[in-house]
Amino acid sequence: MNIFRLLGDMCHLVAIIILFLKIWRSKSCAGISGKSQVLFALVFTTRYLDLFTSFISVYNTVMKVVFLVLAYATVYLIYLRFRSTYNSESDSFRVEFLLVPVAGLSFLENYAFAPLEILWTFSIYLESVAILPQLFMITKTGEAESITTHYLFFLGLYRALYLANWVWRYHTEGFFDQIAVVSGVVQTIFYCDFFYLYFTKVLRGSGKMTLP
């Protein structure tokens, strides 16, 4: 554990809590991609199956359980509790175009051809593209509420901090997880355009982020 990793995990947690509370308090999931949230629930489910097979630390176990619970609770709010507020017509990203290549790649490029290992690899690849339906939705509607942009900011910051964590771990422990690092770099790149808009529009102005 290092400071980048801990801060990264905290940003990840903050992002998930921001989204959950936004939907819970406003009783609305307008502007939120349910598809991205289902993908994240799938990411956590396929990655954290090792909860049953290996114990790493109390921190690790608690965080995994919290992420899983919050991910499914968010999906529940969007698709069941506040379903009437869900903008399904704007959430039109075709997730099969992500799932099929990601599933295929996880069979081809993995550390070991074992069920849990392939599912872990699948989760890493899927996480790198899971936010795309949300970014697509914002591009399509041309705007995002500021609270939604704060959610995306913390999610992007989490990714950036994990990159710093890997640089740190490489130099201090010789640790290098190629699959995670390559996917992590790809994932962080997706946030660059958003970061630019966030700093130039949301933080300088107020209210919604509107696209040019």
- Binding other proteins (rule: CB under 8 A), the pick from 63, 105, 182, 185 is 63
Q: Is 9 in the site for other proteins (CB under 8 A)?
A: yes
Q: What are phi and psi of 155, to 5 degrees?
A: -65, -40
58's tokens: 């109390």
Q: Can you tell me the distance from the alpha carbon of 151 to that of 146, in angstroms, rounded to the nearest whole number?
A: 9
CA-CA-CA-CA dihedral for 143, 159, 132, 40, to nearest 10: -110
- Binding other proteins (rule: CB under 8 A), the pick from 107, 176, 196, 199 is 176
Q: Can you tell me the distance from the alpha carbon of 71 to that of 123, in angstroms, rounded to the nearest whole number?
A: 14
Q: Is 45 in the site for other proteins (CB under 8 A)?
A: no
Phi-psi region of 161 (alpha: psi -120 to 50; beta: other; left: phi over 0): alpha
Q: Which is nearer to other proteins, 49 or 99 (CB)?
A: 49
- Determine the number of helices (DSSP H) and then strands (DSSP E) in the chain: 8, 2
Find the part of the chain contacting other proteins (CB under 8 A) among 98-106, 143-151, 169-177, 190-198.
169-177
Q: Can you tell me the distance from the alpha carbon of 91 to that of 138, in angstroms, rounded to the nearest whole number?
A: 9
Q: Is 140 in the site for other proteins (CB under 8 A)?
A: no
How many beta carbons lie within 10 A of that of residue 119, not counting itself? 18
Find the part of the chain contacting other proteins (CB under 8 A) among 55-63, 75-83, 86-94, 198-206.
55-63
Q: Is 180 in the site for other proteins (CB under 8 A)?
A: yes
The least distance separating other proteins from the CB of residue 91, rounded to whole angstroms, comes to 26
Q: Which is nearer to other proteins, 11 or 209 (CB)?
A: 11
Question: What pairs with residue 210 in β-bridges?
Answer: 143
Q: Which is nearer to other proteins, 120 or 194 (CB)?
A: 120
Q: Is 196 in the site for other proteins (CB under 8 A)?
A: no
Q: Is 117 in the site for other proteins (CB under 8 A)?
A: yes
Q: Can you tell me the distance from the alpha carbon of 73 to that of 58, in angstroms, rounded to the nearest whole number?
A: 22
Binding site for other proteins (CB under 8 A): 5, 9, 12, 47, 50, 54, 56, 60, 63-64, 67, 110-112, 114, 117, 120, 162, 165, 175-178, 180
